[in-house]
Amino acid sequence: MKTIFDHIELVKGKPHHIRKQVAFASATVGAAFIALVWLAGSLSTGVFSIQESSFAGATGQEPSAVAGEPGNQNLAGVGAASALPESVNTPAHIEIIDAASPSVKKQAEQTTIPF
């Protein structure tokens, strides 16, 4: 039975392109083994499992009803409604605020970027 040292001596006697192939093959096998051990460890510890990611879950509040879940068939327009009681009587509107008056606006300067 050959030892690893006998195999290394055998490979040393081979041409350069064969030694290069052996080196890349052994590096690929080593990297694949490390990746397999990492993946098995990650899967067994549950690193890839989905955790509670909602804001309500993170703050410990009650989860809100979601359209499409059983018992929530009448929530199709829940995205347009607000949960705050004072906004129930407020009509929907868009308010546009002009940040700068026309007299304050500057003319854009042309910039040349040298290469």
Report in angstroms the alpha-carbon separations of 65 from 29, 57, 105.
50, 13, 47
Kindly state whether residue 55 falls inside one of the protein's structural domains: no
Confidence at residue 107, expressed as pLDDT on a 0 to 100 scale: 64
Residue 81 lies in a domain: no
Q: What is the pTM of this model?
A: 0.40
Residue 24 lies in a domain: yes
The answer as to whether 84 is a domain residue is no
Domain extent for 20 = 15-45
> Would you state the structure tokens that stand for residue 108, as one six-digit string?
């854009």
Residues 25-82 have pLDDT tens digits of 999 999 999 999 999 998 888 777 766 666 666 666 665 555 555 555 555 455 555 4
Residue 20 lies in a domain: yes
The dihedral formed by the CA atoms of 15, 21, 26 and 29, expressed in degrees to the nearest 10 = -160
The whole-angstrom separation of Cα 18 and Cα 24 is 10
Would the pLDDT of 20 be above 70?
A: yes
With respect to residue 68, please indicate whether it lies within any of the assigned structural domains.
no
Average pLDDT rounded to a whole number, residues 81-86: 52
- How many domains are contained in the chain? 1
Whether residue 94 is contained in a domain is answered as: no
Whether 105 is covered by a domain: the verdict is no
